[in-house]
Amino acid sequence: MVNQPVLLERENTDKLLENTLGNSINIAEPLTNREAEILQSIIAGKTNKQIARKLCRSERTVEYHRNRLMRKLNARTAADLVKRAIATGII
């Protein structure tokens, strides 16, 4: 029973963060078709190498697009990128 309040606090904190995140994200630039395609692959859990093979591009090109996505959505990690994409309605 002691663990239950902690669990509820985490759930409430997560909801608060998601609501705040969803209300504060604005994308200045729309995503390009290639960025959207790469974002879908990132969401699917693909690595840069796998994405590069699929798109017949170099791994460095995929890294470039991924970095632009991260900047556009102000994300620091892949998980943060996915959360922000969901919060903005991109996916």
Enter the tokens of residue 47. 């690595």
Specify if 57 maps to a domain: yes
Whole-prediction pTM = 0.68
78 occurs within a structural domain: yes
Tens digit of each residue's pLDDT (9 = 90 or more) over 11-59: 665 565 555 554 455 666 889 999 999 999 999 999 999 999 999 999 9
> 89 pLDDT band (50/70/90 cuts)?
confident
pLDDT digits (tens, 9 = 90+) for 64-81: 999 999 999 999 999 999
The CATH number of residue 45's host domain is 1.10.10.10
Q: How many domains does the chain have?
A: 1
Asked if residue 11 belongs to a domain, the reply is no
Domain that includes residue 67, residue range: 30-91
Q: Is residue 9 part of a domain?
A: no
Confirm whether 42 is domain-assigned: yes
Answer whether residue 77 is part of any domain: yes
Place of tokens 């029973």: 1
| C-alpha distances out from residue 84 to 20, 34, 58, 89, Å | 11, 18, 26, 8
Pick from 36, 47, 46: nearest CA to 85: 36
**Sign for the pseudo-dihedral over CA of 68, 70, 74, 76:** negative
